[in-house]
Amino acid sequence: MHYRTALVTGASSGLGRGLALWLARRGTRVFAAARRQEPLQALAQEAQAAGATLEPLDMDVARAEETVARIRQLDADCGGLDLVIANAGVGGETSGKRFPWERTKQMIDINVTGAAATLSAVLPQMVERGRGHLVGVSSLAAFRGMPTHAAYSASKIFLSTFLESLRVDLRNTGVRVTCIYPGFVKSEMTANNRFPMPFLLETEDAVERMGRAIVRGAPVFAFPWPTARFAQLVHSLPDALFDSLAGRLL
């Protein structure tokens, strides 16, 4: 598929930055959204040097009502968004033994409410136009409630289930839905991870895989396959066995 216009949230670093540039280099007019504007300006200059069109957009998805209004206005101004990628997200530990409510609320505001606001803002308009593509970046951590990561795993479970229901609802409307489950990728989010990270991917490699999956309209894309297969196996374990194995990571 070819997209005239695309919105990518969380585009100031990591996968969001890479996806915004990947799409722009392929002829899409990309609106790169994030809170941090200095990295976005640098990204716009990099895109311009490559002859691509990328426009920075100041947006904090944690402010859900503002996000919806901003995306609707953008949709009207650009003649319709063809692709919306809800990538903005935050992580971190939320151990049940020392549970940090402030960090948990931040994850819910960004990973749950912010993602839902981003994806639903112009969904009625996409249905009316009979075209569009919604993409959410979940995580392999959504397959089970990972130890010390209750808020993060739960936030990604919400996103994947939200997208699954939308995918069923939107059949035969012309609007596609894709849920992406990345494994471990080198980024700001994983830089301080104290757990082992098998099959750790470079950002460029992960972006290329995600970009190809989006363009071909894959409904679900989990990668890399060894980590994805392991996550699927863990998902199928009986609760008692999972609790025992996961407890050894603490």
Query: Could you list the active site residues?
Result: 152
Distance (Å, whole) CA 155 – CA 28: 30
Residue 160 and residue 181 in contact, taking contact as beta carbons nearer than 8 Å: yes
- Give the pair of three-digit tokens for residue 99: 């549970």
Distance (Å, whole) CA 5 – CA 76: 12
Dihedral pair phi/psi, residue 96, rounded to 5° = -65, -20
Dihedral pair phi/psi, residue 160, rounded to 5° = -65, -40
- Give the pair of three-digit tokens for residue 54: 């990328």
Q: What's the sign of the alpha-carbon dihedral 71, 39, 107, 235?
A: positive
Residue 39 and residue 56 in contact, taking contact as beta carbons nearer than 8 Å: no
Residue 118: enclosing H or E segment and its boundaries? helix 115-120
Distance (Å, whole) CA 210 – CA 201: 12
- Give the pair of three-digit tokens for residue 244: 């025992």
Dihedral pair phi/psi, residue 137, rounded to 5° = -95, 100
